[in-house]
Amino acid sequence: MTDKKQVHLERRSPALWHVTFDNPPLNIFGPETLPQLNTIVTALETDPDVKVVVFDSAVEGYFITHYNFLAKPEETLGLPPGPTGLPQLPDMLVRISRAPVVSIAKIRGRATGVGSELALASDMRFASREKAILSQWEVGAGLVPGGGPMARLPRLIGRGRALEVLLGADDINGELAAQYGYVNRSFPDAELDAFVDALASRIATFDRQAIAETKRLVNIASLPTDSDIAPEWDAFLGSLTRPAAQDRIKRLMERGFHKPGDVEARLGHYVGQIGI
């Protein structure tokens, strides 16, 4: 594993934090990222002053892409469960959803796989109309998504659209994502920062207990249970070893998967081509 800092926390005020993913060139998320994000999630759960956190990216073109398929399997399989009892990635996503803090994903670039799953776990999502791409591409590569999208997407956008996103495994641009409800709204790229900053700053001035209690009650009505989330990570890990997935991932690698270039920039297109 690398000790490189991939997740940066900026406390813009005691009440308003920004968490920036910075793992160029592709913002790939892997076992080496998990402890860095976990430290921040724990701080969000325990800090008495924070009210709002904004997740964004420092890497041009990429919010967060997919899991690190070049990591050694034992680096993921050997990790202990998180505080919820779930494996570490779904554990942290569940805790972000439940934390008494408002979480906002500001999506500029590709939010695919883990990036989509972190956005779905956030309380709100706002996207660049020109630059945001969301997708759950995994089925196109013979995989099962592992970070909770089967539990979260149908609650958010309805069963039919969720199946279109998950089984179509294609890229969804910012404008269509807003029409579907995948994100709250999309904005012209030049207007995205100002809107998110204004909303986050506004909420950060409100009473913390009122924010936390309101979110808790909305969570009761809308969040999936741990038992809904738990099977997805196991299904993801199980799918990794299947011959169909191994073959499709190999074909993607041969075309340039995991490297800067057209495959990563248009992953939805390429997963639709490898089985033809």
Mean pLDDT value across the chain: 96
Residue 216 lies in a domain: no
Q: Is the model's pLDDT at 160 over the cut of 70?
A: yes
Task: Please compute the mean of the pLDDT values over residues 4-20 and round it to a whole number.
Answer: 97
Q: Where are the alpha helices (DSSP H) in the chain?
A: 34-46, 73-77, 88-98, 114-121, 149-157, 159-168, 174-180, 189-204, 208-222, 226-240, 243-255, 262-265, 267-271
- The continuous run of DSSP H or E covering 135 comes out as strand 133-135
Predicted pLDDT of residue 2: 52
Q: Is the model's pLDDT at 228 over the cut of 60?
A: yes
Task: Please compute the mean of the pLDDT values over residues 238-246 and round it to a whole number.
Answer: 95
Residue 212 lies in a domain: no
Per-residue pLDDT tens digits for 127-141: 999 999 999 999 999
- The continuous run of DSSP H or E covering 111 comes out as strand 110-112
Per-residue pLDDT tens digits for 71-93: 988 888 888 999 999 999 999 99
Cβ count near 10 (within 10 Å): 10
Per-residue pLDDT tens digits for 13-37: 999 999 999 999 999 999 999 999 9
β-bridge pairing 52-57 and 172-173: unpaired
Residue 16 lies in a domain: yes
Residue 256 lies in a domain: yes
Residue 184 lies in a domain: yes
CATH number at 229 reads 3.90.226.10
Per-residue pLDDT tens digits for 184-208: 999 999 999 999 999 999 999 999 9
Residue 29 lies in a domain: yes
The count of domains in the chain is: 1
- The continuous run of DSSP H or E covering 85 comes out as none
The parent domain of residue 225 ranges over 7-206+221-271
Predicted pLDDT of residue 73: 83
What number of residues does the chain have? Answer: 276
Predicted pLDDT of residue 3: 65
Task: Give buried/exposed letters for 158-174 (b at 16+ CB in 10 A, else e).
Answer: eeebbebbbebbbbbbb
Residue 213 lies in a domain: no
Residue 2 lies in a domain: no
Task: Provide the 3-class DSSP secondary structure of residue 87.
Answer: coil
* End-to-end CA separation in angstroms for the chain: 36
Task: Please compute the mean of the pLDDT values over residues 200-221 and round it to a whole number.
Answer: 98
What CA–CA distance (Å, rounded) separates 29 from 238?
Answer: 19
